Amino acid sequence: MGSTIALADGEAAGGAEQPAERPPAWPHRHLLDTDVLTWPQIELVLDTADVMAEILARRRPRSEVLRGIGVTNLFYEASTRTRVSFEVAAKHLSADVVNVSVTGSSIEKGESLLDTIRTLESLGTRVLVMRHATSGAPYLAARELRGSVINAGDGRHAHPTQALLDLYTLRRHVPGGSLRGRKVVILGDVLHSRVARSNLWTLTAAGADVWLCGPSTLLRGFEVWAATGVAGARRFTVTSDVEAALRDADAVMALRLQQERMAAGLLPSVHEYQARFGLTTERLRLAREGCLVMHPGPMNEGVEIAPDVAAGSGSLVTQQVANGVAVRMAVLSLVTSVGVRGPA
Amino acid sequence: MGSTIALADGEAAGGAEQPAERPPAWPHRHLLDTDVLTWPQIELVLDTADVMAEILARRRPRSEVLRGIGVTNLFYEASTRTRVSFEVAAKHLSADVVNVSVTGSSIEKGESLLDTIRTLESLGTRVLVMRHATSGAPYLAARELRGSVINAGDGRHAHPTQALLDLYTLRRHVPGGSLRGRKVVILGDVLHSRVARSNLWTLTAAGADVWLCGPSTLLRGFEVWAATGVAGARRFTVTSDVEAALRDADAVMALRLQQERMAAGLLPSVHEYQARFGLTTERLRLAREGCLVMHPGPMNEGVEIAPDVAAGSGSLVTQQVANGVAVRMAVLSLVTSVGVRGPA
Amino acid sequence: MGSTIALADGEAAGGAEQPAERPPAWPHRHLLDTDVLTWPQIELVLDTADVMAEILARRRPRSEVLRGIGVTNLFYEASTRTRVSFEVAAKHLSADVVNVSVTGSSIEKGESLLDTIRTLESLGTRVLVMRHATSGAPYLAARELRGSVINAGDGRHAHPTQALLDLYTLRRHVPGGSLRGRKVVILGDVLHSRVARSNLWTLTAAGADVWLCGPSTLLRGFEVWAATGVAGARRFTVTSDVEAALRDADAVMALRLQQERMAAGLLPSVHEYQARFGLTTERLRLAREGCLVMHPGPMNEGVEIAPDVAAGSGSLVTQQVANGVAVRMAVLSLVTSVGVRGPA
């Protein structure tokens, strides 16, 4: 099996140590989820993010890559970190950035999503960064927009830049720089987590041994998927046994517990969740020494993650946020390199 | 009658085909409504918008015309398209743009409008783009501000940049490029429409044969105005007979139906409105072939306009939005060319 | 006593007329309140603001001082003037500015303040301009952030840039340019006023004869402080006798009456407050001729200040706002000159 073919196959290719013989092309005008990314494409994002990180380290962190290009942050859900991260990333690339949030916009008047997309495009939006409470909404936008749509989180479906920045952060801190064979645990409310879903694709593509762990009510449907495998091949483990999951783990990703889950009857109480699934120092002793700890934020400290774990030596929470800017610069630069769709 | 005099008279001058012998000056520090604009001044806006459209077509659409000039978007009502359109237009001209919306501002604390205007001026606002629910509010602002006020919609009174972009769009698509003698129908809730009011001035100035059509409850007062004529001379037609209005029309402008009108007892139901006045493909057959269709947005598709009409070959909805940026760049550039008011 | 020592002592040094023999250093990475500022440091802010005012008077008011530096306006309370003032100031210095307001941000999700600070820092925030309803919140932020925190108002505690712009404005308009021995009255709801507290430090440091005047319920605790003195030495006068306070005053600063004080039972009625403590033309006759009038805004005209006083010849309300931009440019430039805290 030649290396070019191997590189097109995530399972077989795995780590970063195998350089591509020719630079892999980036074919995606949109980034809606990580499921369509081949391993070489994922590596291209990570390598481009390295270049962006170097730019960010400069005294004046500015590139001209998106000069003259209109980027609109269209957020139908509240967000600080993701909106600011994309705004800062786009400005570092010299884009013309406009923020549109649901409050204070005519979207309150009941304008349809498609009408909004068409309007923003006519106003000069070339890249639409979009967060929406409805799973799939960015796919609708992508069918309409001639430019690029980047999914900044849609319902419980996907959050691809979060998964890419998680992978980027893990690779920089895991010994040897490869996740091949490393045990990575995603812990918590997997059911409602777009972060978990997008991470499944990237982590298994990187060859990690992925475990999903949480209360059984918050894992529904994932056992079936685990049996089939991601991309029909790459398998992962699903369990409610937190000790089995954490044992010998190389990295743990704690998910935010949405307090509104209680009302839906999916969880008995925050206290019980914390007692059974909270990521504490004691539980973390089951993992390998130096186990890396991640959280997509915002954290409920004392609920899904103990404050001393969040602030502990293995915690990468701060690095995740910082790396997010570099990864989003990379994604912005890659999707715009494809150009726009020609008129129908 | 010499051409200079003729040019000062909208009725007589009409179309774009008569070039002015000397370039008409732009005397207006503010743009509060279209009623004060002479035909040569309207043409100056449209010609300047042509230049701006050329700038927008460049790879890096940026001019230095407003470099160092502070533009503030002060929006007391929700808006996506108008606010973003002005923001993008001002940034393309290198202005320093600040957004102030009612949410998250001290205006919630009950600060008076005049106090807000004075504050923004002291903070460096040279051009105030203002939307307010109260008709006439921008006139109050204009009495205070030494710089320029652009009305981005005040109550049911005026929306001058919308009328100018509508005219700009019509002229680019109507055969021959002149509206002289062309039948243009404004269809819907004319009574509450600032778009209709501002369009009346510009369309009659362009020599169009303007028809206002809607339920009689939503035309109140316009019959009297029609009899007197706009500017005391240019007449238009008011009718609730949608077939008479659409027959042989060259262009139809559908207005947004504010759903809250029903509560006010002015309309029996959305369904009945749609059945009697909705712009459908069938009704549009009464118009001339190639009849142009416009809507100021946001559209209630299936209410005042059928989806297939909105997306049809004659629809200029997308062009209206795109042209809006060029027209607003033109207006920003013209009003600032006048300078600021000297100290009293 | 040598002049260097005198300059380190606000009481003794006083006015602007004594030049420092060597330029006083600026040691403060944060600006949380004015209490820690020595008189030479206050003078350094004012002198730097003079330079900034010159920049603002240029046709293109732009400096490169903050090029490449990320400034985030984090506002947990509504604000127009302060937020826009900082935004404009930072942009004039070429900073990369991001606005985060409580509405439309994940802060609604209950993210902790410290988590937000860390996130913004990781996203590139070097200067955090922060308004918060809780007194002391910016101190918490300052312990976390490696860069600079500027307090833009915290609860009833402090509003240092307001005090500095007030002093800057007073010095430019008081005959002779020094406040030494000048009678300055702060009139109104002193109890809840962060503006009053921060002004006490700067005005007494400038050697002014400061009087606090208001209903006794809104002066609680200040008599004790007056007896001890600011900085253990500089005394001021507290009284509910508005005539005694205004007699021979050189300047009066009226404070905003928060209407919600009535509900708390601290005031009988707005009407009675206005009758007893409102700053009217008649009352102002007790003051010296040419008495200067100030208000931090937004004003309740007709309540704490009569409209003719607010618009009168002695009113500096507009100048306060305009000078605020120059003073905030000075503060931004000074705090960033200190650099960031090294890793712990």
What pLDDT score does A78 carry?
A: 81
Neighbouring CB atoms inside 10 A of C109's CB total 16
A120 touches chain B (CB under 8 A): yes
Instruction: Give the pLDDT band (50/70/90) at residue A132.
Output: very high
B315 touches chain A (CB under 8 A): no
- Specify the 3-state DSSP secondary structure of B59: coil
Chain C closest-CA separation from residue A334 CA (Å): 21
Check whether A4 has a pLDDT greater than 50: no
Q: What is the percent of chain A where pLDDT is above 90?
A: 79
**A10, A205 contact by CB (below 8 A):** yes
Check whether C161 has a pLDDT greater than 70: yes
What pLDDT score does B337 carry?
A: 95
Least confident of A154-168, C31-45, C103-117: C103-117
Instruction: Give the pLDDT band (50/70/90) at residue A5.
Output: very low
Chain A closest-CA separation from residue B92 CA (Å): 9
Say if the Cβ atoms of A119 and B79 lie within 8 Å: no
Which residue type is seen at A173? Answer: H
Whether the bond between B298 and the residue before it is cis, its omega within 30 degrees of 0, is: yes
Closest Cα to residue A333, out of A124, A99, A67?
A67
Residue C114 φ/ψ, nearest 5 degrees: -65, -40
Say if the Cβ atoms of C56 and B115 lie within 8 Å: no
Say if the Cβ atoms of C120 and A84 lie within 8 Å: yes
What part of B 48-77 touches C (C-beta under 8 Å)?
A: 67-68, 70, 72
What pLDDT score does C111 carry?
A: 65
Whether the bond between C23 and the residue before it is cis, its omega within 30 degrees of 0, is: no
pLDDT lower than 70: segments of chain B = 1-24, 103-111, 261-263, 343-344
What pLDDT score does C149 carry?
A: 98
Q: How far apart are CA A16 and CA C313, in angstroms?
A: 72
β strands within A81-223, DSSP E: 96-101, 125-132, 148-154, 183-187, 209-213
Q: B127-164 pLDDT, tens per residue?
A: 999 999 999 999 999 999 999 999 999 999 999 999 99
β-strand pairing of B96-101 with C251-254:
unpaired
What pLDDT score does C138 carry?
A: 97
What pLDDT score does B231 carry?
A: 83
A270 touches chain C (CB under 8 A): no
Those chains having 3 or more beta-carbon pairs within 8 angstroms of chain A are B, C
Q: How far apart are CA B253 and CA C334, in angstroms?
A: 56
Measured in Å, how far apart are chain B's first and last C-alpha atoms? 40
- Show residues of chain B in contact with C56, CB under 8 Å: 124
Check whether C21 has a pLDDT greater than 60: no
Using alpha carbons only, how large is chain B's radius of gyration in Å? 20
Largest CA-CA distance found in chain A, in angstroms, rounded: 59
What pLDDT score does C102 carry?
A: 76
What pLDDT score does A159 carry?
A: 98
Cα dihedral C327, C328, C334, C336, rounded to 10, equals: -170
What part of A 185-214 touches B (C-beta under 8 Å)?
A: none
What pLDDT score does B163 carry?
A: 98
Using alpha carbons only, how large is chain A's radius of gyration in Å? 20
- Show residues of chain C in contact with A301, CB under 8 Å: 112, 115
Q: What is the percent of chain C where pLDDT is above 70?
A: 89
Token pair belonging to C7: 């300059």
B8 touches chain A (CB under 8 A): no
**pTM, entire model:** 0.91
What pLDDT score does A186 carry?
A: 98
What pLDDT score does B332 carry?
A: 98
Q: What is the percent of chain A where pLDDT is above 70?
A: 89
Q: Which ipTM did the prediction report?
A: 0.89
DSSP secondary structure of A4-67? HHHHH-HHHH-STTS--SSPPP---S-BS-STT--HHHHHHHHHHHHHHHHHHTSSS----TTT
What part of A 73-102 touches B (C-beta under 8 Å)?
A: 96, 98, 100
Mean of the pLDDT values across residues A227-252?
A: 94
Which are the contacts of A161, defined by CB distance < 8 A and separation ≥ 6? A31, A82, A150, A151, A152, A324, A327, A328, A331
C318 touches chain B (CB under 8 A): yes
Q: B178-215 pLDDT, tens per residue?
A: 999 999 999 999 999 999 999 999 999 999 999 999 99
What pLDDT score does A268 carry?
A: 80
What pLDDT score does A210 carry?
A: 98
Token pair belonging to C75: 């506002």
Among A75-79, A260-264, C61-65, name the most confident range.
C61-65
**C300, C257 contact by CB (below 8 A):** yes
- Specify the 3-state DSSP secondary structure of C318: helix
Q: A28-57 pLDDT, tens per residue?
A: 999 999 999 999 999 999 999 999 999 999
What pLDDT score does A10 carry?
A: 38
What pLDDT score does C263 carry?
A: 64
Chain A closest-CA separation from residue B200 CA (Å): 24
Q: How far apart are CA C171 and CA C184, in angstroms?
A: 12
What pLDDT score does C244 carry?
A: 98
Edge-first strand order for the sheet with C183-187 is C237-239, C209-213, C183-187, C251-254, C292-294
Q: How far apart are CA C139 and CA C288, in angstroms?
A: 40
DSSP secondary structure of C267-312? -S-HHHHHHHH-B-HHHHTTSPTT-EEE--S---BTTTB-HHHHTS
What pLDDT score does B270 carry?
A: 87
Q: How far does CA C282 lie from the centroid of its chain?
A: 28
Say if the Cβ atoms of B78 and A118 lie within 8 Å: no
Q: How many contacts, defined by CB atoms under 8 Å, are there between A and B?
A: 81
Q: C282-319 pLDDT, tens per residue?
A: 999 999 999 999 999 999 999 999 999 999 999 999 99
Q: How many contacts, defined by CB atoms under 8 Å, are there between B and C?
A: 79
Higher-pLDDT residue of C193 and B6 is C193
What pLDDT score does B262 carry?
A: 66
